[in-house]
């Protein structure tokens, strides 16, 4: 999530709330459809998933930066 640094968990929370509103709108639209089963979004689980994904992206970014530094350091001539 690009806004993680600026908004912290609030941006992720808004994203999850938006997803939930979409699911609820679908439930309302299909309420009279025979056999339709309403769905919902577990806010805590969804927010945890978004936060974990953001942490994984951050770890991958830091890992790539460390590899690049290591490669750069190997190219430098030793005194």
On whether the CB atoms of residues 37 and 26 are closer than 8 A, the answer is no
* Domain that residue 68 falls in: 4-75
Cβ contacts of residue 17 below 8 Å, gap of 6+?
43
> How many residues are there in the chain?
79
Instruction: Give CA–CA dist 54/67, Å, rounded.
Output: 20
> Domain count of the chain?
1
Burial of 75 (0-12, 13-18, 19+ CB in 10 A): exposed
User: Cβ–Cβ contacts within 10 Å for residue 4, how many?
Assistant: 16
Quick one: what percent of the chain has pLDDT higher than 70? 65
> Which has more confidence, 78 or 27?
27
* pLDDT band at residue 11 under the 50/70/90 scheme: confident
pLDDT at position 40, please? Answer: 92
């Amino acid at each position: 999530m690009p806004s993680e640094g600026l908004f912290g968990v609030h941006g992720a929370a808004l994203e999850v709330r938006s997803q939930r509103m979409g699911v609820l709108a679908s439930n309302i639209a299909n309420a009279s459809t025979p056999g339709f089963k309403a769905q919902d979004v577990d806010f805590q689980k969804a927010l945890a998933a978004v936060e974990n994904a953001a942490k994984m992206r951050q770890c991958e970014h830091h890992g790539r930066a460390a590899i690049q530094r290591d490669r750069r350091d190997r190219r430098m001539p030793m005194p």
